[in-house]
A = this chain, B = another copy of it.
Amino acid sequence: MAYGTALAVLADPTRRKVFERLRGGPRPVNLLARGLPVSRPAVSQHLKVLKDAGLVEERSEGVRRIYSLRREGLMELREWLESFWGDALDAFKLEAERSYRLKKRDK
């Protein structure tokens, strides 16, 4: 039941914001912390939690720790969510994909 872990980890707003920042690509800690309303150590702690949950991975680059997103960490949560729909599932999936394409087009 890793989806439970993912839910718990992403429930915190600050931690979620850190996670979302990684959508923009891999980033070092100080960059992730910049502008957030909490201290840098707080961000480090959030990153540890995210990493333990498999939502994020870390690599060293000199003195920096570069964190990046692990989409696989979201898979179970995704499947759990999808399991709430029945046949209507495929219809929604298609529609979602379509609206995505639209958004992309008018960028």
Q: Does A23 contact B (CB under 8 A)?
A: yes
Give the total of A residues in contact with B, Cβ under 8 Å.
Answer: 38
In contact, B97 and A26 (Cβ under 8 angstroms): yes
User: What residues of chain B lie closer than 8 Å to A104, measured between beta carbons?
Assistant: 86-88, 91
Q: Does A63 contact B (CB under 8 A)?
A: no
In contact, B100 and A86 (Cβ under 8 angstroms): yes
Using known A-B contacts A7-B16, A24-B92, determine if residue A84 contacts B79 with beta carbons closer than 8 Å: no
Interface string of A70-88 (1 = CB under 8 A from B): 0100100111011111111
In contact, B82 and A24 (Cβ under 8 angstroms): no
Q: Does A38 contact B (CB under 8 A)?
A: no
Nearest CB in chain B: distance from A54 CB, A: 14
User: What residues of chain B lie closer than 8 Å to A26, measured between beta carbons?
Assistant: 97
